[in-house]
């Protein structure tokens, strides 16, 4: 056996619960420092930039409202992803599921005859169904054929992107929009109400919070939650216990997909009021929400909280664009670095670095 030089990892037998919190916070801080380095490379002074971004987002009521507005789709998606990850369904397709939900809601808003007070309800229902449908095939393929869901859910994102491009350039292209590629605007009764003085479409917020509490309850107290936890912890034990992997995986996938679909309804029904280019409907909410689910370690309530933090990053991205003239990819870059830092730090929760003691005189 070779002697090992340099530091090695030593397992901590029972790490205190607070250790996870401290390690995660430290890794987030590290990720923000690394993003600051990228700012500097780009030619923006990082400390000045961060202080502008913080002041314009958290500094006044208008900025805070924007943070909440940006977090609306993230809460719904992150809560669902946290649940799906617990069942070991690694859904990378929330972006596509969001877009599917947005398209379905637009279809209802533009072309259905559902009477006014029910239109919005129908939009949410259709959006949930479309998002769930988008997650259905990967879940089925995973359980029936063992096809890796990471790749299939991701591929369906592109299908959704080009599908919407087709709709807004083809059959759903608005008659009143001249040459632009988007649908006609939604009628007034297909628009979500907002909290006065803000752009927060509150029905989406309510749905997100209800989903967080409900899934927390499902995980902690119900048979499905128990099955999800067992399947996620040890698939073989789940099989011995007679847990139907297909049913549980499908449930987790459909719930996660459906919630992402609701997020899409919120975006078109509460912000854009029409179906438009996919990159405008979602600047990568579906991908960034993965970071929230990771930060929350599969806890739906914590995922909602983490989503609020990511809402801050997206709101800051808008400020960076408007005030610092930075490109729109800033939030994507920051969330990538944060996710890298968070996943890298994972090992420090259960292990600590041990430096070898060098015996004097050699061996």
Partner 1 sequence: MDVAVDTLNRAFAYSTPLLWAGLGAVYSERAGVVNLGVEGTMILGSLTAFAVAHRTGSLFLAVTAAALTGALVALVHAFISVTLRANQYVAGLAMTSFGLGLSGMLGRAYEGIALARPMQGITVPVLSSLPLVGPSLFRGQAILTHLGLLVAVALWVLLYKTRWGIAVRSVGESPATADAAGIRVARIRYASVIAGGALASIGGAYLSVAYRPSWTEGMTAGMGWIAVAIAIFASWNPLKAVGASLFFGALYYLSFRLQAYVAPELLKLLPYLAVILVLAFSARGRRRLFLGAPEALGEPYYRGAR
Chain residues in the site for partner 1 (CB under 8 A)? 9, 38, 41-42, 90, 92, 137-138, 141, 143-148, 150-152, 154-156, 158-159, 161-163, 165-166, 169-170, 284, 287-288, 290-291, 294, 326-337, 339-340, 343-344, 346-347
d(CA 44, CA 65): 26
Spatial CA neighbour of 80 closest among 61, 95, 63, 70:
95
Q: How far is the CB of 217 from partner 1 (least distance, A)?
A: 27
Q: Is residue 297 helix, strand or coil? A: coil
**What SS3 string covers 57-68?**
HHCCHHHHHHHH
In DSSP terms, 8 is beta-bridged to 354
Q: How far is the CB of 102 from partner 1 (least distance, A)?
A: 16
d(CA 148, CA 4): 36
Q: How far is the CB of 323 from partner 1 (least distance, A)?
A: 16
Are the beta carbons of 140 and 156 closer than 8 angstroms? no
Residue (39 or 186) nearer to partner 1, CB: 39
Are the beta carbons of 106 and 160 closer than 8 angstroms? no
196 by Cβ neighbours in 10 Å (0-12 / 13-18 / 19+) ranks as: exposed
Residue (40 or 220) nearer to partner 1, CB: 40
Residue (33 or 155) nearer to partner 1, CB: 155
Q: How far is the CB of 185 from partner 1 (least distance, A)?
A: 22
Residue (5 or 197) nearer to partner 1, CB: 5
d(CA 232, CA 36): 36
Residue (170 or 242) nearer to partner 1, CB: 170
Q: How far is the CB of 333 from partner 1 (least distance, A)?
A: 3
Q: How far is the CB of 25 from partner 1 (least distance, A)?
A: 17
Q: Is residue 11 helix, strand or coil? A: strand
Task: Count Cβ neighbours within 10 Å for each residue of 110-136 and write b for 16 or more, e otherwise.
Answer: beeebeeeebbebbbbbbbbbbbbbbe
Q: How far is the CB of 208 from partner 1 (least distance, A)?
A: 22
Residue (67 or 291) nearer to partner 1, CB: 291
Residue (53 or 143) nearer to partner 1, CB: 143
Residue (3 or 188) nearer to partner 1, CB: 3
Q: How far is the CB of 278 from partner 1 (least distance, A)?
A: 11
Helix orientation angle between 202-221 and 300-323, rounded to the nearest 10 degrees: 150
Angle CA(59)–CA(61)–CA(64) in degrees, nearest 5?
Answer: 70
355 by Cβ neighbours in 10 Å (0-12 / 13-18 / 19+) ranks as: exposed
């Amino acid at each position: 056996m070779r002697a090992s030089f340099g530091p090695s990892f030593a397992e901590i037998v029972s790490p205190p619960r607070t250790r996870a919190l401290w390690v995660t916070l430290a890794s987030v801080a590290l990720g923000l420092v690394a993003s600051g380095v990228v700012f500097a490379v780009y030619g923006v002074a990082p400390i000045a930039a961060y202080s502008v971004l913080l002041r314009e987002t958290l500094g006044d009521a208008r900025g805070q409202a924007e943070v909440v507005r940006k977090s609306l789709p993230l809460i719904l998606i992150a809560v669902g992803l946290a649940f799906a990850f617990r069942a070991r369904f690694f859904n990378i397709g929330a972006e596509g599921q969001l877009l599917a939900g947005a398209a379905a809601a637009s279809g209802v808003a533009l072309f259905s005859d559902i009477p006014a007070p029910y239109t919005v309800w129908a939009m949410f229902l259709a959006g949930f169904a479309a998002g769930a449908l988008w997650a259905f095939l990967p879940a089925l393929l995973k359980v029936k054929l063992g096809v890796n869901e990471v790749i299939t859910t991701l591929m369906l994102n592109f299908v959704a992107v080009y599908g919407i491009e087709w709709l807004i350039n083809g059959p759903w292209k608005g008659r009143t929009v001249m040459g632009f590629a988007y649908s006609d605007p939604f009628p007034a009764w297909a628009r979500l109400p907002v909290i006065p003085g803000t752009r927060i479409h509150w029905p989406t917020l309510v749905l997100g919070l209800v989903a967080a509490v409900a899934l927390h309850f499902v995980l902690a107290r119900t048979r499905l939650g128990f099955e999800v936890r067992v399947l996620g912890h040890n698939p073989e034990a789940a099989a011995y216990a007679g847990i139907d992997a297909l049913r549980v995986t499908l449930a987790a996938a459909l719930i996660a997909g459906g919630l992402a679909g609701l997020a899409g309804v919120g975006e078109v029904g509460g912000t854009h009021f029409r179906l438009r280019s996919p990159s405008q409907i979602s600047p990568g909410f579906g991908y960034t929400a993965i970071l929230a689910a990771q930060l929350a370690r599969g806890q739906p309530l914590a995922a909602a909280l983490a989503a609020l933090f990511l809402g801050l990053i997206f709101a800051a991205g808008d400020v960076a664009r408007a005030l610092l003239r930075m490109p729109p990819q800033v939030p994507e870059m920051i969330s990538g670095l944060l996710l890298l830092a968070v996943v890298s730090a994972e090992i420090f929760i259960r292990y600590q670095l041990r430096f070898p003691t060098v015996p004097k005189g050699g061996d």
